[in-house]
Amino acid sequence: MADKKSSTGSKVRSVRPDFASIGGLLVAAAGIIGGLVLDGGNVSDIRQITAAIIVMGGTLGAVMVTSPISSLITAAKGLKNVFFEEVIDLDAAVDEIVGYASKARKSSIISLEDDLERIEDPFLRKALSLAVDGTDLKELRKMMDLEIFHAERRAEAGAKVYEAAGGYSPTIGIIGAVMGLIQVMKHLENIEEVGRGIAVAFVATVYGVAIANLFFLPTANKLKARIHKDVQVKELLLEGVGSIIEGMNPKLIRIKLEAFLDPDGKQKAAAGKQAAGAGEPAAARG
């Protein structure tokens, strides 16, 4: 995905690999397998394709029964967001809003119509378009809040698919273990084979518990974190557009929107203002 830039020239959105997700899976796998080897075990002890088929197939089937097809598609598409993070520069977003506010204060809000086609963020473009068209602020907030609400619900539906899978897979693992024990009980005459068979049977339980706690549940929580971040950005943009409609002073808008920034972001914003001096934002000059 190409980087998106604000009217000030700063990158607002960019995509990068999420090394926390990738590294977390590697560390978890290394810890489990390393512990097994240090305890005298062998990787082949837990390498059972039958157990994997039972756990993955059973879990997938249960999730398909639980979730509508639209949620399954959303979950599949959202998986990339676990391993790739959309980095949103809130400082650049604040600068962009302040730039539009300065231009609107100088030349009226109608002048922002020329900037609409250059706005990359569809949410901001829609909100500003409604503002330029003279939509009442109360009605605009209601419309955009509704869009935020439904976008959040659609995204959460995908996260709930992984949450459901994390609940089913340990139980499916137990089913796999019981099925293995049934096969073991057919050969009680050979005690050595019974012991080996019992060990193999419980591999399905290991698979079910491991994939639930190392992948499905963490994936659901990571997607929820992404959703909350996206909502925060949209709330910032909506608050900024609302302030522009109200005719608020651009400096006050900046102070207001900096409440959305973390402490480091506020320090960066303050440093940026000092470096800029008394110069107007680029959007205001455009």
Per-residue model confidence as pLDDT tens digits over 91-140 = 888 999 999 999 999 988 999 998 898 888 899 999 999 999 999 999 99
Q: Is residue 161 part of a domain?
A: yes
Q: Is residue 247 part of a domain?
A: yes
Q: Is residue 119 part of a domain?
A: yes
Q: Is residue 28 part of a domain?
A: no
* pLDDT at position 273: 53
Distance (Å, whole) CA 112 – CA 124: 12
* pLDDT at position 4: 46
* pLDDT at position 100: 93
Residues 6+ apart with CB under 8 A from 98: 240, 250, 253, 254, 257, 281
Contact predicate 234/123, CB 8 Å: yes
Beta bridge partners of 4: 13
Please state the pTM of the whole predicted model: 0.78
Per-residue pLDDT of the chain (286 residues; tens, 9 = 90+): 444 444 444 456 678 888 999 999 999 989 988 888 888 877 777 888 888 999 999 999 999 999 999 999 999 999 999 999 888 788 888 999 999 999 999 988 999 998 898 888 899 999 999 999 999 999 999 999 999 999 999 999 999 999 999 999 999 999 998 888 887 787 777 776 676 677 778 889 999 999 999 999 999 999 999 999 999 999 999 999 999 999 999 999 999 999 888 765 554 555 445 444 444 444 444 4
* pLDDT at position 221: 95
Contact predicate 72/64, CB 8 Å: yes
SS3 (DSSP) at 262: coil
As for how many domains the chain has, the answer is 1
Q: Is residue 20 part of a domain?
A: no
Q: Is residue 144 part of a domain?
A: yes
Which domain range does residue 192 map to?
49-79+88-285
Q: Is residue 124 part of a domain?
A: yes
Q: Is residue 10 part of a domain?
A: no
Which amino acid, 2? A
Distance of CA 103 to the CA centre of its chain: 33
